[in-house]
Amino acid sequence: MNPSRPAGTPWPAGLVRRAAPVLLALALAACAVGPDYRTPQLAGVEAPAGWHATLPHHGSRMMLARWWEQFHDTALTQLIEQAGADSPTLAQAVGRVREARASVSSSRAALLPQLKGSGSAVRQGGFGGSQFLGGAGGTGVSSTSLSPTLGLGTFTTLAASADASWELDLFGGKRRSLEGADARLEASLADWHDARVTLSAEVANTYLQQRECEALVAIGETTRASRRETLQLTERKFGAGFVAPADLAQAQATVADATNALESQRAQCEQGLDQLVTLTGLDHAALVALLAPGKGRMLAPPDAGAPDVPAQVLSQRSDVSSAERAVAGASADIGVAVASRLPSLTLAGSIGINTFRISGQSLTTKSWSFGPSVSLPVFDGGSGAARVETARARYDQALASYRAKVRQAVQEVEDALVRLDAAGRCLDAATVADAQYAKVLEAASARYRLGAGSLLQLEDVRRTTLSASQALAAAQQLAREIAALPQPCMLADRASAYRQWDLPLEAALRQEGAHGTPLVFTEGIAGAARFAQGAGRHGAPG
């Protein structure tokens, strides 16, 4: 007999009826209520076609894996690496990533059947032979009628069972929950990256400010030494009767002013050391020893570049990526809320075995059960609709936050480019001014030594020269800080810089995402680029 069904032969009606519910459930399980997420595109916040500010170095791109190494300063490198290894802020970010990863695992587990088992072994005994009198007639009631254990002696009951249940994801609520958990994990990874780069930038800026402070201390020491020489010369002139007492008093006052400014600057340097201790966790003595070889050395401002396409910059900002992933998570929450208002179908089954032993005899029973159960919301007083409305409101909030973040990103990039361009011009002017005023001071000092100039003229030139030297140090510091900025715009390959910093740690944090695939947060990066370029479609839920 050929068991196969001949071509053209209809399926038996009974088989079709039995298979219809299963096919219907599978068809429903392929659906997912709620909006399908698309990277949002909103009018008025797309990235411009090009930057309005002047691009540094003709918009050349830097491919930096460890951006701080552009300074070629071993102390800076050690400080940033130490801060990354011992930062409470990064530890908190890592904890949030692990929490989000556990949420993904929990959401994925909700899609699978649940199985649990139980077992028991109970030894029981009763007390027989007693009578209870009750009622006016004194009718006796046997103890065995009150409890089955009374009068049976000692017996043992053994039981074991296994229960399985599976709530079918008919309307995709659980899949939407997993989708939202994935998005939030990617957002937490982006936040972790942002925390790392923010920390490195803070350490670098504090270090550069410390070096500037040391240079200003050196300038202050030179200024005080020069004024002491002038005071000695003035004292000799006063002793010879060539200058008035007022000139001597002025010379003494200028030395005191220089000493006061120098001590104030040294105090600022000590505060900078304390800040580096806080950021890196290093011992104060160890930090001083680390900074000693390059004390007072002003680092040369490195070359800086920014991509000439704004969308490239926005796609490299982890704060934009995190905001976009928050929108994706809020969109998935709408589907979860909608699904909670719809019927749910659960398949449940169990098997069990029970053994009753008494007086050397035993009785064993086996049982099983299987069947579906349907939960149908009938009336909830409007709480389900309120949950959906709440989810939609949170989506709108996340979308508005994303919109604001993109606008802020464009502004910060433009501002950074303007500051960088201005810093370069200021540095050139400050360099010329410092060199020329140094010549003027040298000439004024020579005239005073020869008696051809007054102390008032000399001190006026000295104050101007000191201001020029301080302005040059400030311009150099500003150029270094802006050129080293890793966050607003100055890294053309920021994502590469993240991954090259600590690949093993990032791999450990990512582990596996939904469906066993490695987790990445490139959707947020790519989504931000599409958003900025205006290539996406409107993703607002209906």
What is the per-residue DSSP string for 506-525? HHHHH-B-GGGPBP--HHHH
DSSP state letter for 9: P
Q: How far apart are CA 300 and CA 383, in angstroms?
A: 63
Beta bridge partners of 160: 119, 353
Query: Tokens standing for 128?
Result: 């027989």
Beta bridge partners of 512: 518
Q: How far apart are CA 510 and CA 505, in angstroms?
A: 9
| Contact present, 73 and 272 (Cβ < 8 Å) | no
Q: How far apart are CA 174 and CA 373, in angstroms?
A: 18
Q: Output the furthest CA–CA distance in the chain (Å, rounded).
A: 142
Q: How far apart are CA 65 and CA 192, in angstroms?
A: 17
Closest to 279 measured CA to CA, from 189, 209, 188, 191: 209
* Tens digits of pLDDT across the chain (542 residues): 444 444 455 545 555 455 555 555 555 555 789 899 988 875 545 555 554 444 443 333 343 446 777 778 889 999 999 998 889 999 999 999 999 999 999 999 999 999 999 999 999 886 655 544 444 444 544 444 444 544 557 889 999 999 999 999 999 999 999 999 999 999 999 999 889 888 988 998 899 889 989 988 988 998 898 889 888 888 988 888 878 888 888 889 889 988 998 999 999 999 999 999 999 999 999 999 999 988 867 666 555 555 444 555 666 678 888 999 999 999 999 999 999 999 999 999 999 999 999 888 889 999 999 999 999 999 999 999 999 999 999 999 999 999 999 888 888 877 877 777 777 788 888 888 888 888 888 888 888 778 777 777 787 788 888 888 878 877 777 776 665 555 434 333 333 333 333 334 444 454 433 333 333 333 333 333 333 333 333 333 44
Q: How many residues does the structure list for the chain?
A: 542
Alpha-carbon distances, residue 183 vs 146, 177, 409, 460 (angstroms):
61, 10, 21, 64
Beta bridge partners of 373: 346
| Contact present, 312 and 529 (Cβ < 8 Å) | yes
Q: Which pLDDT score is estimated for 300?
A: 61
Alpha helices in 241-295 (DSSP H): 245-280, 284-291
Phi/psi for 350 (5° steps) reads -155, 155
| Contact present, 462 and 251 (Cβ < 8 Å) | no
Give the up-direction half-sphere exposure of residue 511: CA atoms within 13 A in the CB hemisphere: 16
Beta bridge partners of 118: 161
Q: % helix / strand / coil in the chain, to the nearest 5?
A: 60, 10, 25
| Contact present, 493 and 316 (Cβ < 8 Å) | yes
Q: Using alpha carbons only, what angle is made at residue 80 by residues 75 and 82, rounded to the nearest 5 degrees? A: 95
| Contact present, 510 and 179 (Cβ < 8 Å) | no
Alpha-carbon distances, residue 446 vs 165, 226, 395, 452, 454 (angstroms):
98, 12, 74, 9, 11
Beta bridge partners of 374: 345
Q: Which pLDDT score is estimated for 260?
A: 92
Total Cβ atoms within 10 A of residue 483? 23
Q: Report DSSP letters for 314-342, one per residue.
A: HHT-HHHHHHHHHHHHHHHHHHHHHHTTS
CATH 1.20.1600.10 is right for the domain spanning 34-56+73-111+169-342+377-533? yes
| Contact present, 488 and 412 (Cβ < 8 Å) | yes
| Contact present, 484 and 208 (Cβ < 8 Å) | yes
Closest to 197 measured CA to CA, from 15, 321, 376: 321
Alpha-carbon distances, residue 308 vs 290, 408, 413, 492 (angstroms):
38, 18, 11, 10
Phi/psi for 360 (5° steps) reads 80, 0
Q: How far apart are CA 408 and CA 423, in angstroms?
A: 22
Could you state, in order of their start, the residue ranges of all structural domains in the chain?
34-56+73-111+169-342+377-533, 114-168+345-376
Q: Report DSSP letters for 420-433, one per residue.
A: HHHHHHHHHHHHHH
Alpha-carbon distances, residue 248 vs 225, 228, 238, 260, 390 (angstroms):
16, 12, 7, 19, 78
Q: How far apart are CA 41 and CA 157, in angstroms?
A: 67
Q: Report DSSP letters for 482-505, one per residue.
A: HHT--SSS--TTHHHHHHHH-HHH
DSSP state letter for 111: T
Phi/psi for 55 (5° steps) reads -80, 135
Q: Which pLDDT score is estimated for 1?
A: 42
Query: Tokens standing for 158?
Result: 């053994």
Beta bridge partners of 361: 358
Closest to 280 measured CA to CA, from 494, 504, 66, 85: 85
Q: Residue-wise over 237-259: b if at least 16 C-beta within 10 A, else e?
A: bbeeeebeeebbebbeebbeebe
DSSP state letter for 110: T
Enclosing H/E stretch for 10: none
Query: Tokens standing for 5?
Result: 């069904």
